[in-house]
Amino acid sequence: MESNEDSDWDYPPKSDPEVIERTISFVKDLDALIVCHGSPRLTDEILSRTPRLSFIGELEGDRFSQRIDLASAKKYKVIVVDTTHGSSYPVSEWALALILIGLRNGGAHFRRLSSNLEWGNSLQRNSESIFQWNEELTSKSIGLIGGGHIARRLIEFLRPFNVSIYVYDPYLGTDVATSLNFTLTSLDNVLSIPDIVVCLAPLTPSTKGMLQVQQINLMKPQTVFVNVSRGPIVNSQDLINRLKKNDMVACLDVFDPEPIPIDSEIRTLDNVFLSPHIAGTTEKSRTRFFTEMLKELNRHFSGHKTLHDITEMTIANRSGRPL
């Protein structure tokens, strides 16, 4: 069924009676339904008319459009899954890359090399302070803000480097920390203890502006700060002010606002490496949401448990509300 309902991150789509009736006619005899951008909201009025339906899949993640009435789906014993985690593969890879770039202050070296100046001779290596900022990842400590799919995949990538990992995520239990062998702790500790801090939190009303001057200044000198989540989680001017002290490095795939204004100070700072929000947009990631959904369909109709159900905890996490 083709549909073009308005989609919003904060409000469910509103459908007129004609669209609702057309949707009921389409879904009433289905066993499974996949929805994505443009779909009408699957309300109780619709779900109550689908006696065979046992599976709903959301290709873009219900946090983006609120297209599914989760309470009604639960009432009618319909499993609801999403494949938002499909982007965790490329985003975690790019997070690791930015960590490595930051440890060598790669942004500063790139600026020198692209300025048509000689760079890297023996005199410069011995006298320029940039060359003293040249660290390795092995045995470092890393703090992760957010413990979702991206964080867990990044933890897998980090294991060979023998790092200590601290995680702040108010929605995680100690069972996850135990199974993945990391320390679950406070936001203040995740910012102040590690050598590297990676922001992986979803943008919600409670995380917007979460990192202000007080939190940013908790990061110790020589910290590498990486953000591959969303720009508005960090107060941009407060971050710029800290970076201008030249005592830490930032590697940012996201910023507020985007695109980054041409006259923004963040573009001029030596100790900053920037990429234009590319972490999750690989060629494979564009189709992975669908291939992952096919796997979930196969699990469900083979009588197995699905892996990526949308639960009340999922919705609480993505909306930023308490459990």
Please tell me the least confidently modeled range out of 188-192, 285-289, 293-297, 313-317: 313-317
User: What is the pLDDT at residue 64?
Assistant: 55
* Residue 298 falls inside a structural domain: yes
Considering the domain architecture, whether residues 149 and 221 belong to the same structural domain is answered as yes
Query: What one-letter code names the amino acid at 264?
Result: S
pLDDT digits (tens, 9 = 90+) for 97-153: 999 999 999 999 999 999 888 999 999 988 888 888 899 999 999 999 999 999 999
User: Can you give the residue range of the structural domain that contains 287?
Assistant: 17-82+283-319
User: What is the pLDDT at residue 65?
Assistant: 58
Instruction: Let me know if 318 is a catalytic residue.
Output: no
> Directed axis angle between helix 88-103 and helix 283-301, to 10°?
140
Q: Is the pLDDT of residue 75 over 90?
A: yes
* CA–CA distance, 236 with 211 (Å, rounded to integer): 9
Nearest partner of 94 among 292, 291, 287, 281, judged by Cα:
281
Q: Which of 63, 152, 230, 288 is catalytic?
A: 230
Nearest partner of 200 among 276, 253, 122, judged by Cα:
253
Burial code of 169-207, b = ≥16 C-beta within 10 A, e = fewer? bebbeeebbeebebebeebebbbbbbbbbbbbbbbbeeb
* CA–CA distance, 69 with 74 (Å, rounded to integer): 9
Does residue 303 or residue 83 have the better pLDDT? 303
* Residue 10 falls inside a structural domain: no
- Mean pLDDT, rounded, of the chain: 92
Considering the domain architecture, whether residues 108 and 231 belong to the same structural domain is answered as yes
Mean pLDDT of 273-293: 93
Instruction: Let me know if 230 is a catalytic residue.
Output: yes
Considering the domain architecture, whether residues 127 and 214 belong to the same structural domain is answered as yes
* Residue 244 falls inside a structural domain: yes
Q: Is the pLDDT of residue 311 over 80?
A: no
* Residue 270 falls inside a structural domain: yes
* Residue 78 falls inside a structural domain: yes
Instruction: Let me know if 277 is a catalytic residue.
Output: yes
Mean pLDDT of 257-283: 96
Considering the domain architecture, whether residues 196 and 299 belong to the same structural domain is answered as no
User: What is the pLDDT at residue 318?
Assistant: 66
* CA–CA distance, 44 with 231 (Å, rounded to integer): 36
* Residue 249 falls inside a structural domain: yes
Q: Which of 159, 258, 304, 321 is catalytic?
A: 258
3-state SS class at 309: strand
* CATH code (residue 148): 3.40.50.720
Q: Which of 22, 112, 277, 299 is catalytic?
A: 277
Number of domains the chain is built from: 2
Residues of the chain with pLDDT > 90, as a percent, come to: 73
* Residue 6 falls inside a structural domain: no
C-beta atoms surrounding 275 within 10 Å: 16
Considering the domain architecture, whether residues 147 and 181 belong to the same structural domain is answered as yes
Q: Is the pLDDT of residue 243 over 70?
A: yes
* Residue 311 falls inside a structural domain: yes
pTM: 0.90
pLDDT band at 79 (very low <50, low <70, confident <90, very high): very high
User: What is the pLDDT at residue 275?
Assistant: 98
CB–CB of 272/250 below 8 Å? yes
Considering the domain architecture, whether residues 144 and 265 belong to the same structural domain is answered as yes
Considering the domain architecture, whether residues 270 and 287 belong to the same structural domain is answered as no
